[in-house]
Chain A
Amino acid sequence: MKVLEVKNLTKKFDGFIAVDNISLSINEGEIFGLLGPNGAGKSTTINLIAGLLRSSEGEIKILGKNNMKHSRYTKMNIGIVPQDLAIYEDLTAFENVKFFAGLYGLRGTELTDRVQEALEFVGLLDMQRAYPKNFSGGMKRRLNIACAIAHRPKLIIMDEPTVGIDPHSRNYILQSIHKLNEMGCTIIYTSHYMEEVEEICTRISIMDHGKVIAEGTKEQLIAIITNTKDIWIEVKSVEQIDIEKIKEINGVKTVSLDKNVIKINSEIGINNLNNILLYLMNQKVEIGSLEEREPNLETVFLTLTGRNLRD
């Protein structure tokens, strides 16, 4: 089932085209990544999906329903974690979540239960009476997430939720995204941190200048630019090594020697590291270090656009 369907979406601001004719389709249970540099149009796309902005052209369907015609229904099913924190520093953590959940129509004991459930989920249950102004950046973020999920939305949109927080909170958030996903939530995740997107997303769209320039799994995206990776093995001595023998190993494309480093170019998807090491061990070659250089999404973006994800 399609949780989100976007067709030919365009958003113009006073002649400037922020989102340019993009189409997306997200299935239930996916963690969908929107990757792109600042100003690529990720946040605009998300604001359009959430119904905060009206599109210039195109259509957005959430759970099969148009997000403008059935805005009440679609908004009930979306939880949005905005890029800029949306919490009240003068309210306690509990009150913050209660306020947002109350906006979705939850009342009474159900409301209290859901709020506590959400706070527990983000690990802030024992801090529920504390005020956010005393929270660390990571804790504020987590509270922000709790506010977005208390009404149990089917689609959760997270716009750069890990900007400016400590590694511990970052890991916590990434883990909770996995947990939410396991609980049946579909997630849209935007970031310009390539590593995070690579780590958690099942499918990724790369955006640039308001356009989706490539889409697919991490492996599919990498396959756009190459089907090989480099393996560099530093050895103590190269006398016993026969390059031709390494070339015979399945998947190996080219082998060269650079002083005491063996540079191997090998096909992605064929696991031949064992065989290479086995050969070196048989030849009684002492291995100093081993480095596998596989292209990542950063390389993909750089190759396709000539620019870095982060300037």
Chain B
Amino acid sequence: MEFWMIFSKLILLGYLVLRFIHVTDRNIPWIIFSLLLYLCINILYYIVKQDRMKRGILFLSLVQILASYYMVQSLFILLLPLNLCEIFPFQNKNRFMILILVFLPLLPLPNDLAFQYGLVAALSFIIYMMFMQFTARLQMQEAQLDVMRKNLQKVTRILNENNEFIRQSEYTFKLEERNRLAQVFHDKIGHTMTGALIQMEAAKRLIGSDQKKALELLQNAINISNMGIEQIRITLKNLKPPIEQIGINRMKLFIEEFSAKHSLSMPFIYKGDMERITPIQWKIIYENLTEALTNALKYSEATMISIKIHVLNTMIKVEVKDNGVGVQKVKKGIGLIGMEERTASINGKIIVDGTNGFSVTMLIPIQGTM
């Protein structure tokens, strides 16, 4: 942004040079000297970085301009306004002060010069103000950018940490699984295979001398190997968690947490083949349960909420029942209607009974059976 000011000064300087060409009382060596001196001082101003030095140089420039004005040529006064502006630090509060200061030299000036000076002063003031505003805006934006950059950095760091955590968890999980497998292979299958191997070695040695014994040993080895295969099968089967564990375990966890959080007794009973509940049914059961529990908490004054999931032959029954105050005539609110709609989306029904505590019963048909 300093270029803005430099450019303005250059234009002003050019204007002065043009004027000097037409001036009659020529004192050319001194004029050129003053111009060059001004140029030097102002270039120095933009080269120096320290604030105090800058001010000193600026002050020097002012003195030089005034000296040139009195001793060389009156036109030099036109360079004054821009320098006067620069003396003030970039603060909008000083705007009025700058304005007065810039126009102060008008008073002692002769009429024809005063006109020119006024014009240049106004122009300088406007240019300087624009410069200041642009700079302020730029600074603000840069500050914002900085904050955003910092935030981005922070978020990236958190993300990286989380990724690292996930990676580590996965790794730990894999390691645990691998350990478990190794244990099983070592403890069970390894022993079995070794057993079979010993029997076969023995059979090989005996096959020449005692065929009957050798055959017996081989049969043993076969039996042991069969056992081993069975063990592998069982181990691999255990590796795969049944679908139900996802649903039922999540449900258990949720109920336990809810029970602890609100210090309620919440017995949970489930009967039947949980694997027949599909993920979408689990989702709706879960959502309805949350709603029912929230309602119970809000209105029932219950100390116990029991939850039952019963997988029947062609239907799933989920019952949430509390021992609270109940209600004689149930009025449907948004919560209940929401539960009904959700349940209806999988062809299920909701029965609400408020006569003995409050109970919500979901009846959901099992797919492909009705």
Residues on A lying within 8 angstroms of B by beta carbon are 15-17, 208-209, 211-214, 223-227, 303-307
Question: Which residues from chain A contact B321 at a C-beta distance below 8 Å?
Answer: 306
Q: Which of A212, A227, A305 has its CB near the most chain B CB atoms (within 10 A)?
A: A305
The tally of residues in B whose CB lies under 8 Å from a CB in A reads 21
The reply to whether B317 and A304 contact each other, CB–CB distance below 8 Å, is yes
The reply to whether B349 and A224 contact each other, CB–CB distance below 8 Å, is no
The reply to whether B317 and A226 contact each other, CB–CB distance below 8 Å, is no
Among candidates A15, A16, A209, A227, residue contacting B351 with C-beta atoms closer than 8 Å: A209
Question: Which residues from chain B contact A307 at a C-beta distance below 8 Å?
Answer: 353
Among candidates B319, B332, B351, residue contacting A213 with C-beta atoms closer than 8 Å: B351
Nearest chain B residue, comparing its CB with the CB of A221: B314
- The 3 A-B pairs of least Cβ separation, nearest first, read A225-B312, A16-B329, A224-B315
Question: Which residues from chain A contact B317 at a C-beta distance below 8 Å?
Answer: 303-304
- A146 CA to B350 CA in the complex, in Å? 40
The reply to whether B313 and A226 contact each other, CB–CB distance below 8 Å, is yes
Question: Which residues from chain A contact B120 at a C-beta distance below 8 Å?
Answer: none
The reply to whether A224 and B329 contact each other, CB–CB distance below 8 Å, is no
**Nearest Cβ in chain A — how far from B339, in angstroms?**
13
The reply to whether B363 and A214 contact each other, CB–CB distance below 8 Å, is yes
Can you sample 9 A-B contacts with CB below 8 Å?
Answer: A15-B329, A16-B329, A17-B330, A209-B330, A214-B315, A224-B312, A224-B313, A305-B361, A306-B361
- A212 CA to B331 CA in the complex, in Å? 18
- A226 CA to B317 CA in the complex, in Å? 13
Among candidates A15, A209, A226, A227, residue contacting B331 with C-beta atoms closer than 8 Å: A15
- B359 contacts the other chain (CB 8 A): yes
- B352 contacts the other chain (CB 8 A): yes
Contact mask for chain B residues 288-321; partner A; CB cutoff 8 A; 1 contact, 0 none: 0000000000000000000000101111010101
The reply to whether A213 and B314 contact each other, CB–CB distance below 8 Å, is no
Question: Which residues from chain A contact B319 at a C-beta distance below 8 Å?
Answer: 306
- A307 CA to B357 CA in the complex, in Å? 13
Nearest chain B residue, comparing its CB with the CB of A14: B329
- A223 CA to B312 CA in the complex, in Å? 9
> With A15-B329, A17-B332, A214-B363 given, is the CB distance from A304 to B353 under 8 Å?
no
- A227 CA to B351 CA in the complex, in Å? 24
The reply to whether A225 and B315 contact each other, CB–CB distance below 8 Å, is yes
Question: Which residues from chain B contact A16 at a C-beta distance below 8 Å?
Answer: 329, 331
> With A209-B351, A223-B313, A227-B313 given, is the CB distance from A304 to B363 under 8 Å?
yes
Question: Which residues from chain B contact A225 at a C-beta distance below 8 Å?
Answer: 312-313, 315
Nearest chain A residue, comparing its CB with the CB of B348: A213
Nearest chain A residue, comparing its CB with the CB of B308: A306
Question: Which residues from chain B contact A306 at a C-beta distance below 8 Å?
Answer: 319, 321, 359, 361
Nearest chain A residue, comparing its CB with the CB of B332: A17
**Nearest Cβ in chain B — how far from A19, in angstroms?**
13
- A212 CA to B350 CA in the complex, in Å? 10
> With A209-B353, A211-B349, A213-B351 given, is the CB distance from A304 to B315 under 8 Å?
yes
- A219 CA to B276 CA in the complex, in Å? 22
**Nearest Cβ in chain A — how far from B338, in angstroms?**
15
The reply to whether B312 and A303 contact each other, CB–CB distance below 8 Å, is yes
Chain B positions 317-370 with a Cβ under 8 Å from a chain A Cβ: 317, 319, 321, 329-332, 349-353, 359, 361, 363, 370
Nearest chain B residue, comparing its CB with the CB of A300: B312
Nearest chain A residue, comparing its CB with the CB of B361: A305
Question: Which residues from chain B contact A213 at a C-beta distance below 8 Å?
Answer: 349, 351, 363
The reply to whether B312 and A305 contact each other, CB–CB distance below 8 Å, is no
- A224 CA to B315 CA in the complex, in Å? 6
The reply to whether B312 and A226 contact each other, CB–CB distance below 8 Å, is yes
- A177 CA to B352 CA in the complex, in Å? 34
**Nearest Cβ in chain B — how far from A36, in angstroms?**
11
Question: Which residues from chain A contact B330 at a C-beta distance below 8 Å?
Answer: 17, 209
> Known pairs A15-B331, A209-B351. 11 more at Cβ < 8 A?
A212-B349, A213-B363, A223-B313, A224-B370, A226-B313, A227-B313, A303-B312, A304-B315, A304-B317, A305-B353, A306-B319
**Nearest Cβ in chain B — how far from A73, in angstroms?**
33
Q: Which of B317, B321, B359 has its CB near the most chain A CB atoms (within 10 A)?
A: B317
The reply to whether B352 and A224 contact each other, CB–CB distance below 8 Å, is no
The reply to whether B352 and A209 contact each other, CB–CB distance below 8 Å, is yes
**Nearest Cβ in chain B — how far from A218, in angstroms?**
14
Q: Which of B314, B331, B359 has its CB near the most chain A CB atoms (within 10 A)?
A: B314
Nearest chain A residue, comparing its CB with the CB of B356: A307
Question: Which residues from chain A contact B313 at a C-beta distance below 8 Å?
Answer: 223-227
**Nearest Cβ in chain B — how far from A299, in angstroms?**
11
Question: Which residues from chain A contact B361 at a C-beta distance below 8 Å?
Answer: 304-306
- A15 CA to B363 CA in the complex, in Å? 24
Q: Which of A225, A226, A306 has its CB near the most chain B CB atoms (within 10 A)?
A: A306
